[in-house]
Amino acid sequence: MPQWAGSCWYYLRYMDPHNSKAAWDPNKERYWRNVDLYVGGVEHAVLHLLYARFWHKVLFDLGLVSTKEPFQRLVNQGLILGEDGEKMSKSRGNVVNPDDVLREYGADAFRLFEMFLGPLEAVKPWNTKGLEGPYRFLQRVWRMYHAEGRREDADRPLPVADTNITDRELERRLHKTIRKVTDDIDKLRMNTAISALMELQSAIADAPQPRPRAR
């Protein structure tokens, strides 16, 4: 097993990568313990992770690791299909070149769109036209921060934090959004977290503007 043997304990080596006298320091292994979260495709669960778990249990029986299991939690992310609903493949001609997307929309919109496609575990079809929504959202947030709240001096935009929004309902909505996004990130529900941020941005944009500050 020359290939699998090396790839099935790398997570242990990460705990002590520069140790030239041992594979890892037992004290460091007990400190870091096992992996909190492993995100990988389904093929990992039936190949790599199966062997990794076998090796880890052997190491535990030998007293070389302090935990029975190598990974506390496993999440299998779903595939992103081509626009034709089939698995992306050069032979099918449905592969999306990320460089083209980056040039037109930028890396931030690209990342946001991938997270907004749907639940992490679901199989999702790619739709290039769908990039317009996240792209426009980022533009609105940028304009809100850099352009909104301007007063007499149009060349000196006020940051959002300085606009002194006093709408109580909007403040409550802000705190609800913070709580939801925090909870969604913990549960890897990135798509609903982004949706909540989009709703908050719309609410801020529709809120009455505060009165100009007295000079």
Measured CA to CA in angstroms, residue 110 lies from 79, 127, 138, 153, 157 at distances of 16, 12, 11, 35, 28
Provide the 8-state DSSP code for 160.
G
What pLDDT band is residue 56 in, cutting at 50, 70 and 90?
A: very high
Shared domain check, 193 and 126: yes
DSSP codes joined into one string, 7-32: HSSHHHHTTSTT-SSSSS-HHHHHHH
Shared domain check, 191 and 108: yes
**What's the CATH code of the domain at 153?**
1.10.730.10
Shared domain check, 200 and 105: yes
Shared domain check, 67 and 156: no
Q: Among positive and negative, which fits the CA dihedral 82, 83, 85, 89?
A: negative
Residue 212 lies in a domain: no
Q: Containing domain of residue 6, as a range?
A: 2-76
157, two tokens:
């935009």
Shared domain check, 189 and 101: yes
Task: Write out pLDDT tens, residues 77-124.
Answer: 888 898 888 888 888 888 888 999 999 999 999 999 999 999 999 999
**pTM across the whole model:** 0.74
Provide the mean pLDDT of the chain: 84
For residue 183, the surrounding DSSP H or E stretch is: helix 168-186
Taking the C-alpha atoms of residue 146 and residue 169, their distance in angstroms, rounded to an integer, is 24
What pLDDT is recorded for position 102?
Answer: 93
Residue 12 lies in a domain: yes
What pLDDT band is residue 36 in, cutting at 50, 70 and 90?
A: very high
Number of domains the chain is built from:
2
